[in-house]
């Protein structure tokens, strides 16, 4: 998966977040978790509206506190080289705010409000939610299942070609060199 | 063993173990044990110890993960038990851990095909397995426990990695155990098999990334496979498996990073991309479309500037006669005093007039400098080339845009994509993030507007009537202003003939004043009228643009008329000057000749030589002045209308009686239509005047450059976004079409002057010729072989040219009609596809709806039955009322109908339904149970 060198770099990246907490020696597998506050303050995540969700999804305890393995997990999925299916799978999890394995209306509303920083009025949000459900909900149960989601997202133009945005005016220097999560 | 029990108790929720898999594992178990035992002595202990240490750490966390998964999968009550479990785990030996984990992994795998029957068999199975385990433990008592653990992991890896492969791999494993210790002794077939196994492992390694497993599992699998590959590849003589793999991964990453950096670099190379994106994110695509157009225009002007600068101005400045050597290159004596004054230079008189900036400075010498550069020819060709290039670019861009529009994008998931894919996970900068938030909001607003517009259907007759009325009003306006312009122009021509001195200031500046007043008020009027029409804002913008364009054509018309008048005046003047000059020359020579015929000819300083008015330079000057004043007006209105207004509104708001920001003056919106038209007409002026003033493209480049920065700044700091942000079509083909019209209109007068008016006799590269295009003929005659001229003259014979033109027209017609039919076919296909999609969706939905209803009914029936069963004892018939009874009967009937489907229902439902036909249920109970069960 990752060569050792990458794991090492990621490990140091992880350790740099809290040098006092993370031991250098992992042979005895210490049970160390970094709190969400530290994870969320990484430059790769700190401007992301979904950072908390990302941390929650990838952490074992579901509260954003990450062990080294969760950390590696997260980066392997966020990596540019991760395949699309896996990205879609985790994207679904991220957008599924209430963990019920469906993206329902409240999840959509949350997503929208996070995306637009509450700039849209309630009517607009409701309308967009309706439209999204209308478009993507194939089995008409009023919420998006993983299948619906994948069916929709794998056709997205952003997903088809790795679209590196024009907004990126300074390259974020990353440990793996990539956080291209082209959801 | 307490934990085993625990796991089994888990089974009733989700753990199911397949038979075949179980067999496999036990087989594998044995095999691995054998293998390990055999190899244990030969291997160095140290290496192994390290590896197992790492592996064990891995194992622990994996357990967490799986527990977590289990937790999510359902039974939350087990959480507590599991914690206890975890606590115990460290006391027990690791072997059992491995077993539990294996089961857990399986349980996950088999979640879907739940089958109730398996339950007992499962417990049986685990019992036998335990027995076999114990046996094994006895066997391998002398080995250290780490060794065993390793073996188990390997086994687990194989079974979890990929089901179809696993059996194959297993075989391989067994073979290896016997033979591979010494690879040289292998038979060819075995070698082949081994190679295959290695390939499989490699495939596994590559495919690993695509599996949504937790990192723990991946790492274990990976390590296992890599070890395998490394070992056997090494044995097969290929070697360095992992290193090579690591290297490959590294290179791929480097390559990806390089590609991304390159993309970023390319983006950084597009001028103003960031600025425009920023504006787009705050003001929407319609405002951004103006800036894109401005940038495109800038590019065109850069090329025009390059042409004129490189092929005309620089050669003349470097290789032509220097300033002061010829009359046409010298400031005349009477003007010398004021030639350096700023006022004169600002008006492009004085030294500016007698420089490479204008037509009159160029000499008519056929070839200049040591390069023998044909300057007049080049001047002519550059003039023609500028126009030709502009045509080509505009038309090509239009064609490309039309193409893009024709393909269209798949809009079936418009909102979903916007919701789920619009955040860019590469953003790592707060400002960029702000922009992205703004742009996402804007794009949502645009999409919502589109949606609302498509839903809107008003009274069609009323709208139609209002639209006709609006167009009628606009036509009246246009006709009125056209007549006004015509009237004023005629009047001013009369004044000019009379002489301007004996008229008042108003009468002298009437035309300009009328033009600017019309330009100010008519657009506002159009704006008011267009609110009648109730168009989509994008369409409304196009109408507005078209109307103002028609109005501005009047502007253009007056300008051309005035210019033509002036040219005629100058030519009259020229005739007189020419006569005077011959007289002057004659007198000069007569005077000297009569005294002494052998004396050297008198040299007259070039500044003293009398010269003609040179109408070409005059035209060039007019254009340059126009451009300058236009630029100034634009900038000043920008400063006053936008900036000062914004400042006032912002700071006076603290001490004003009403809310300035929300109320009357408020901040200004960006006027897309006015700015686009300003740009287009400005460009038209450039095309018209570039032949007579080669400096015009340079000036325009400067102007566009400045206005790019100035307007970007002004938009961001003093304007507010429009109320209805709408999505402009990305292609701007409407702007292009207007530009094309302007290009055509502005080349007409230029071509007319070039073709039909003889050039001035004493200035410019074509002086002394009858017409400007004679330079071509001259070149053909003197620089090309004779036959070429002959061929050319034949080719330019009308008898050949006319059929050729006819042929071209036919070709155009043919291409046009084919493209039209293609487009139609395309549209039809698209429509078909869309309807099919919709049909599919509908069908799906119908099926889903039906399934859901069935399920619902079955559920209801089931819950009801469950209730019945639970509340069998209290019959309580006294509550019975008709309604409930009715409902009961209905459920009953439905349940009977769905009897067959019940087979697949969960067990408690199944047994519950059996009681349904019993006594009628209690009404209250029924109601309460309807809600929570699912």
DSSP of B123-162: HHHHHHHHHHHHHHHHHTTTS-HHHHHHHHHHHHHHHHH-
Q: Residues B375-382: what's their mean pLDDT?
A: 93
A 56-95 residues inside an 8 A Cβ radius of B: 60-62, 67, 69-70, 72-73, 76, 78, 80-83, 85-86, 89-91, 95
Nearest chain B residue (CA) to A44? B428
Residue that wins the pLDDT comparison between B183 and B900: B183
Q: Residues B376-385: what's their mean pLDDT?
A: 93
Instruction: Give CA angle at B224 (B220, B229), nearest 5°.
Output: 145
Contacts of B210 in chain A (CB under 8 A): 83, 85-86
Q: What is the structure's pLDDT at B591?
A: 60
Q: Name the band, by pLDDT with cuts 50, 70 and 90, for residue B273.
A: confident
Average pLDDT, chain B: 73
Contact call for B845 and A139, based on CB within 8 A: yes
A139-148, B453-462, B521-530, range with greatest mean pLDDT: B521-530
How many other CB atoms sit within 10 Å of the CB of residue B708?
Answer: 19
Q: What is the structure's pLDDT at B451?
A: 82
Q: Does B7 touch chain A (CB under 8 A)?
A: no
How many other CB atoms sit within 10 Å of the CB of residue A34?
Answer: 22
Rounded distance, CA B838 to CA B826, Å?
18
Q: What is the structure's pLDDT at A5?
A: 54
Q: Name the band, by pLDDT with cuts 50, 70 and 90, for residue B457.
A: low
**Cβ–Cβ < 8 Å for A136, A112:** no
Instruction: Give CA angle at B463 (B457, B464), nearest 5°.
Output: 120
Contact call for B415 and A99, based on CB within 8 A: no
Which residues share a beta bridge with B719?
Answer: B668
Query: B402-413, pLDDT tens digit by residue?
Result: 766 545 556 677
B 210-269 residues inside an 8 A Cβ radius of A: 210-212, 214-216, 218-219, 222, 242, 245-246, 249-250, 252-253, 256-257, 260-261, 263-264, 267-268
Query: B38-67, pLDDT tens digit by residue?
Result: 444 444 444 444 444 444 444 444 444 444
Q: Does A109 touch chain B (CB under 8 A)?
A: no
Q: What is the structure's pLDDT at B890?
A: 45
Residue that wins the pLDDT comparison between B733 and B218: B733
Q: Residues B509-532: what's their mean pLDDT?
A: 83
C-alpha to C-alpha distances, B625 to B165, B346, B412, B618, B693, nearest whole angstrom: 81, 9, 53, 10, 11
**Confidence check: pLDDT of B226 > 60:** yes
Structure tokens at B436: 């992205």
Contact call for A86 and B264, based on CB within 8 A: no
Q: Residues B787-814: what's their mean pLDDT?
A: 91
Q: Residues B816-827: what's their mean pLDDT?
A: 91
DSSP A140-178: -SSSB-HHHHHHHHTT-HHHHTT---TT--S----SSS-
Q: What is the structure's pLDDT at B219?
A: 67
Rounded distance, CA A70 to CA A99, Å?
18
Query: A31-63, pLDDT tens digit by residue?
Result: 788 888 888 888 778 888 888 888 888 888 878
Buried b (16+ CB within 10 A) or exposed e, B821-850: eeeeeeeeeeeeeeeeeeeebeeeeeeeee
Residue in A93, A110, A114, A98 with CA at minimum distance from that of residue A49: A114
Rounded distance, CA B793 to CA B797, Å?
6
Contact call for B848 and A131, based on CB within 8 A: no
Q: Which residues have a Cβ under 8 Å from the Cβ of B722 and sit 6 or more positions away?
A: B283, B284, B286, B287, B537, B669, B670
Q: Does A11 touch chain B (CB under 8 A)?
A: no
Contact call for B440 and A165, based on CB within 8 A: no
C-alpha to C-alpha distances, B917 to B186, B650, B889, B896, B912, nearest whole angstrom: 72, 78, 10, 9, 11
Burial of B276 (0-12, 13-18, 19+ CB in 10 A): buried
DSSP B818-866: HHHHHHHHHHHHHHHHHHHHHHHHHHHHHHHHHHHHHHHHHHHHHHHHH
Structure tokens at B16: 């199911």
Residue in A170, A35, A31, A69 with CA at minimum distance from that of residue B213: A69
Q: Residues B523-549: what's their mean pLDDT?
A: 85
Q: Name the band, by pLDDT with cuts 50, 70 and 90, for residue B301.
A: very high
Contacts of B222 in chain A (CB under 8 A): 1
Nearest chain B residue (CA) to A32? B61
Instruction: Give CA angle at B723 (B717, B729), nearest 5°.
Output: 90
**Confidence check: pLDDT of B336 > 90:** no
**Confidence check: pLDDT of A65 > 70:** yes
**Confidence check: pLDDT of A11 > 90:** no
Contact call for A127 and B451, based on CB within 8 A: yes
Q: Does B853 touch chain A (CB under 8 A)?
A: no
Q: DSSP 3-state assignment of B181?
A: coil
**Cβ–Cβ < 8 Å for B693, B358:** yes
**Confidence check: pLDDT of B880 > 70:** no
The interaxial angle of helices B45-73 and B145-161, nearest 10 deg, is: 50
Q: What is the structure's pLDDT at B598?
A: 52
Q: Residues B823-851: what's their mean pLDDT?
A: 84
Q: What is the structure's pLDDT at B216?
A: 65
Residue that wins the pLDDT comparison between B739 and A83: B739
Poorest-pLDDT segment among A97-111, B211-225, B710-724, B876-890: B876-890
Q: Which residues have a Cβ under 8 Å from the Cβ of B677 and sit 6 or more positions away?
A: B545, B548, B549, B552, B738
Instruction: Compare CB distances from A167 to B216, B436, B451 and report the shortest one's residue.
Output: B436
Q: What is the structure's pLDDT at B365?
A: 87
Q: What is the structure's pLDDT at B209?
A: 58
Q: Mutation test of the interface with chain A: which of B420, B436, B838, choosing the one with the most A Cβ atoms within 10 A?
A: B420
Q: What is the structure's pLDDT at B882?
A: 44
Instruction: Compare CB distances from B267 to A155, A166, A180 and report the shortest one's residue.
Output: A166
Q: Distance (Å) from the C-alpha of residue A21 to the closest C-alpha of chain B?
A: 18
Q: Residues B539-554: what's their mean pLDDT?
A: 87
Q: Name the band, by pLDDT with cuts 50, 70 and 90, for residue B498.
A: confident
Instruction: Give CA angle at B607 (B604, B611), nearest 5°.
Output: 95
Residue in B705, B682, B698 with CA at minimum distance from that of residue B626: B682
**Confidence check: pLDDT of B260 > 90:** no
**Confidence check: pLDDT of B875 > 60:** no
Rounded distance, CA B381 to CA B377, Å?
6
Poorest-pLDDT segment among A148-162, B123-137, B200-214, B728-742: B123-137
Q: Mutation test of the interface with chain A: which of B428, B438, B833, B843, choosing the one with the most A Cβ atoms within 10 A?
A: B428
**Cβ–Cβ < 8 Å for B66, B102:** no
Residue that wins the pLDDT comparison between B302 and B833: B302
**Element at B668 (helix H, strand E):** strand B668-669
Which residues share a beta bridge with A103?
Answer: A144
Rounded distance, CA B861 to CA B930, Å?
10
Q: Give the position of tokens 């007579």.
A: B692
Percent share of chain B, pLDDT over 90: 16
What secondary structure letter does DSSP report for B654? G
Q: Does B449 touch chain A (CB under 8 A)?
A: no
Q: Give the position of tokens 């433990």.
A: B137
Rounded distance, CA B688 to CA B563, Å?
11
Q: Give the position of tokens 């397949």.
A: B18
DSSP B199-252: HHHHHHHHHHTTS---HHHHHHHHHHHHHHHHHHHHHTT---HHHHHHHHHHHH
B279-283, B393-397, B506-510, B583-587, range with greatest mean pLDDT: B393-397
Structure tokens at B341: 């004054």
A 21-40 residues inside an 8 A Cβ radius of B: 26-29
Structure tokens at B865: 């039955």
Q: DSSP 3-state assignment of B777?
A: helix
Contact call for A3 and B246, based on CB within 8 A: yes
Q: Name the band, by pLDDT with cuts 50, 70 and 90, for residue A81.
A: low
Residue in B540, B195, B776, B415 with CA at minimum distance from that of residue A129: B415
Residue in B52, B51, B32 with CA at minimum distance from that of residue B169: B32
The torsion region of residue B764 among left (phi > 0), alpha (psi -120 to 50) and beta comes to left
End-to-end Cα distance, chain A: 22
Q: Residues B759-763: what's their mean pLDDT?
A: 88
**Confidence check: pLDDT of B744 > 80:** yes
Q: Distance (Å) from the C-alpha of residue A130 to the closest C-alpha of chain B?
A: 9
Q: Name the band, by pLDDT with cuts 50, 70 and 90, for residue B641.
A: confident
Q: What is the structure's pLDDT at B692?
A: 92
**Confidence check: pLDDT of A23 > 90:** no
Residue in B692, B573, B574 with CA at minimum distance from that of residue B624: B692
**Confidence check: pLDDT of B667 > 80:** yes
Q: DSSP 3-state assignment of B904?
A: helix
**Confidence check: pLDDT of B514 > 90:** no
Query: B68-87, pLDDT tens digit by residue?
Result: 444 444 444 444 444 444 44
Structure tokens at B934: 């699912």
Residue that wins the pLDDT comparison between B174 and B665: B665
Query: B125-162, pLDDT tens digit by residue?
Result: 444 444 444 444 444 444 444 444 444 444 444 444 33
Structure tokens at B48: 């192994």
Buried b (16+ CB within 10 A) or exposed e, B411-431: ebbbbbbbbbbbbbbbbbbee
């Amino acid at each position: 998966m990752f060569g050792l060198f990458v794991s090492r770099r990621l490990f140091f990246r992880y350790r740099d977040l809290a040098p006092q907490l993370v031991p250098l020696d992992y042979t005895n597998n210490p049970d160390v978790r970094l709190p969400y506050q530290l994870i969320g303050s990484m430059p790769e995540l700190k401007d992301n509206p979904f950072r908390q969700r990302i941390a929650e999804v990838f952490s074992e305890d579901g509260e954003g506190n990450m062990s080294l393995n969760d950390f590696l997990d997260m980066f392997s999925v966020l990596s540019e080289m991760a395949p699309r299916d896996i990205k879609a799978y985790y994207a679904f999890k991220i957008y599924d705010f209430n963990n019920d394995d469906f993206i329902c209306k409240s999840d959509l509303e949350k997503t929208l409000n996070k995306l637009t920083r509450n700039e849209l009025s309630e009517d607009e949000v409701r309308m967009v939610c309706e439209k999204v459900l209308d478009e993507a909900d194939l089995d008409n149960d009023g919420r998006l299942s993983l299948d619906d989601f994948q069916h929709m997202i794998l056709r997205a133009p952003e997903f088809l070609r790795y679209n590196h945005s024009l907004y990126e005016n300074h390259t974020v220097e990353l440990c793996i060199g990539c956080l291209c999560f082209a959801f | 063993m307490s934990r085993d029990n625990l796991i089994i108790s888990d089974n009733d929720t989700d753990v199911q173990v397949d038979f075949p898999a179980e067999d496999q594992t036990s087989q594998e178990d044995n095999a691995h044990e054998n293998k390990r035992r055999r190899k244990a002595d030969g291997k160095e202990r140290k290496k192994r110890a390290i590896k197992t240490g790492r592996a064990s750490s891995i194992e622990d966390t994996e357990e967490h993960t799986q527990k977590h998964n289990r937790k999510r999968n359902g039974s939350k009550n087990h959480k507590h038990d599991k914690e206890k479990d975890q606590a115990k785990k460290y006391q027990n030996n690791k072997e059992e851990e491995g077993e539990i984990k294996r089961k857990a992994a399986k349980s996950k795998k088999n979640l879907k095909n739940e089958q109730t029957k398996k339950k007992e068999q499962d417990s049986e199975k685990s019992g036998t397995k335990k027995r076999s385990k114990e046996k094994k433990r006895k066997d391998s008592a002398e080995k250290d426990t780490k060794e065993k653990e390793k073996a188990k992991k390997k086994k687990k890896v194989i079974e979890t990695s990929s089901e179809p492969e696993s059996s194959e791999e297993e075989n391989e494993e067994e073979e290896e155990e016997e033979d591979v210790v010494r690879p040289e002794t292998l038979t060819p077939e075995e070698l082949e098999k081994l190679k295959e196994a290695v390939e499989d492992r490699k495939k596994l390694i590559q495919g690993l990334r695509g599996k949504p497993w937790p990192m723990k599992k991946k790492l274990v699998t990976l390590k296992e496979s890599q070890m395998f590959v490394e070992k056997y590849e090494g044995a097969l003589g290929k070697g360095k498996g992992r290193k090579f793999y690591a290297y490959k991964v590294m290179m791929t990453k480097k390559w990806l990073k390089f590609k991304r950096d390159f993309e970023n670099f390319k983006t950084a190379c597009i001028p103003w991309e960031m600025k425009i994106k920023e504006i787009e994110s705050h003001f929407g695509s319609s405002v951004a479309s103006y800036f894109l157009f401005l940038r495109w225009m800038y590019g065109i002007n850069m090329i025009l500037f390059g042409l004129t600068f490189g092929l005309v101005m620089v050669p003349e400045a470097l290789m032509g006669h220097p300033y002061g050597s010829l009359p046409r290159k010298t400031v005349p004596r009477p003007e010398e005093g004021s030639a350096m004054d700023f006022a004169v230079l600002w008006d492009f008189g004085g030294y500016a007039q007698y420089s490479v900036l204008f037509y009159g400075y160029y000499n008519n010498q056929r070839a200049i400098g040591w390069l023998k550069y044909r300057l007049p020819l080049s001047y002519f060709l550059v003039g023609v080339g500028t126009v030709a290039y502009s045509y080509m670019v505009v038309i090509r861009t239009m064609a490309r845009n039309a193409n893009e529009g024709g393909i269209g994008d798949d809009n079936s998931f418009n909102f979903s994509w916007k919701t789920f894919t619009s955040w860019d996970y590469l953003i790592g900068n707060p400002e960029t993030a702000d922009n992205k938030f703004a742009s996402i909001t804007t794009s949502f607003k645009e999409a919502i507007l589109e949606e609302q517009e498509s839903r809107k259907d008003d009274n069609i007759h009323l709208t139609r009537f209002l639209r006709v009325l609006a167009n009628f009003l606009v036509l009246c306006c246009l006709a009125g202003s056209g007549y006004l312009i015509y009237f004023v122009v005629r009047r001013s021509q009369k004044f000019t003939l009379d002489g301007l001195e004996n008229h008042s200031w108003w009468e002298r500046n009437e035309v300009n004043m009328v033009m600017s007043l019309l330009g100010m008020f008519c657009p506002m009027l159009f704006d008011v009228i267009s609110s009648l029409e109730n168009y989509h804002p994008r369409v409304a913008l196009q109408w507005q643009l078209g109307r103002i364009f028609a109005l501005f054509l009047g502007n253009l018309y007056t300008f051309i008329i005035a210019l033509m008048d002036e040219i005629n005046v100058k030519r009259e003047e020229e005739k007189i000057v020419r006569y005077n000059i011959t007289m002057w020359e004659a007198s000069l020579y007569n005077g000297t000749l009569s005294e002494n015929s052998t004396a050297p000819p008198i040299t007259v300083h070039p500044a003293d030589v009398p010269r003609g008015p040179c109408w070409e330079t005059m035209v060039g000057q007019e254009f340059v002045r126009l451009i300058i004043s236009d630029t100034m007006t634009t900038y000043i209105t920008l400063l006053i209308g936008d900036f000062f207004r914004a400042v006032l509104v912002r700071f006076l708001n603290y001490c004003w009686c009403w809310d300035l920001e929300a109320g009357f003056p408020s901040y200004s919106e960006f006027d897309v239509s006015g700015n686009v038209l300003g740009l287009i007409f400005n460009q038209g002026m450039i095309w018209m005047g570039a032949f007579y003033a080669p400096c015009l493209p340079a000036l325009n480049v400067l102007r566009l450059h400045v206005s790019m920065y100035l307007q970007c700044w002004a938009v961001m700091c003093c304007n507010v976004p429009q109320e209805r942000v709408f999505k402009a079509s990305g292609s701007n083909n409407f702007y292009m079409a207007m530009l094309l019209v302007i290009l055509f209109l502005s080349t007409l007068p230029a071509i007319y002057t070039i073709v039909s008016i003889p050039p001035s006799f004493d200035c410019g590269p074509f002086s002394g010729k009858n017409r400007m295009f004679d330079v071509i003929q001259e070149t053909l005659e003197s620089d090309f072989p004779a036959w070429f001229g002959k061929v050319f003259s034949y080719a330019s014979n009308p008898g050949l040219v006319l059929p050729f033109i006819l042929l071209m027209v036919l070709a155009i017609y043919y291409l046009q009609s084919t493209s039209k039919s293609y487009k139609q076919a395309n549209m039809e296909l698209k429509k078909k596809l869309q309807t099919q999609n919709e049909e599919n969706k509908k069908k799906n939905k119908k099926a889903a709806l039906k399934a859901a209803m069935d399920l619902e009914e079955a559920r209801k029936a089931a819950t009801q039955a469950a209730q019945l069963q639970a509340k069998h004892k209290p019959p309580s018939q006294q509550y019975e009322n008709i309604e409930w009874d009715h409902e009961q009967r209905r459920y009953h009937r439905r349940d009977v109908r769905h009897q067959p489907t019940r087979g697949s229902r969960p067990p408690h439902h199944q047994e519950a339904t059996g009681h349904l036909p019993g006594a009628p249920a209690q009404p209250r109970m029924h109601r309460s149970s309807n809600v929570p069960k699912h």
